[in-house]
Copies of this chain bind each other. A is one copy, B any other.
Amino acid sequence: MELLKQRILKDAEVLPGEVLKVDMFLNHLLDVNLIREIGKEFFRIFSSSGITKILTAEASGIALAFAAAEFFNTPVLIAKKGTHKNIGSECYCSEVFSFTKSVSYTMQVSKKYIDSRDTILIIDDFLANGAALSGLINIVSLSHAKLAGAGIAVEKAFQNGGDKLRGEGLNLKSLAVIESMNEGKIIFRDDDDKE
């Protein structure tokens, strides 16, 4: 997605430890117009998939999932992190190790809100090693819902999570795929899904 790539080139910062900082438009200060365009692009890609719910992980996937859901006209289901008293005990859970924060956490979704009649689109802001996305896929699998695919804003391809999951058959579409960012220079992979 050209708009997103241009914004990354203009504003994103490459930090030590292969960190791409995009908090000035994507996950701390949100550029609402850009995020709406990202939601529209996910709709363009997955509109014929019969999506009934969009699944995302709190917290930084929520705005993207909401923006997409406005186009799909479906609910958003948020996988909660940690143990939430108010969420009820009947949950589908995944254990996820966050490389960003160096901690494991539990991702959970109430069994009441996803079942075999659902066709799920997973949406998230980032894909690197694929741990969070694998956790979401596991929840969909446990629920026996159909997984239509996953839409990711920014994929760090050099951390290999995306290609591994594509190899396992996931219909994965990332709007900006970063091949490398050595010495602060961001190189994108060519789109496989042009506008």
Contact = CB atoms under 8 A, between A and B. Distances in A.
Interface string A28-68: 11111101100000000000000001000011001100110
6 contacts: A28-B80, A29-B76, A29-B78, A30-B76, A30-B78, A59-B62
Contacts of A81: 59
Contact of A29 (B19, B29, B77): B77
A23 B108 CA distance: 13
Given A28-B87, A29-B53, A59-B62, 18 more contacts: A19-B86, A21-B88, A24-B112, A28-B77, A28-B78, A28-B109, A29-B76, A29-B77, A29-B78, A30-B78, A31-B75, A32-B76, A33-B73, A35-B66, A58-B58, A59-B80, A63-B63, A66-B66
**A: interface residue count bin:** 35 or more
A117 interface: no
A6 interface: no
A9 interface: no
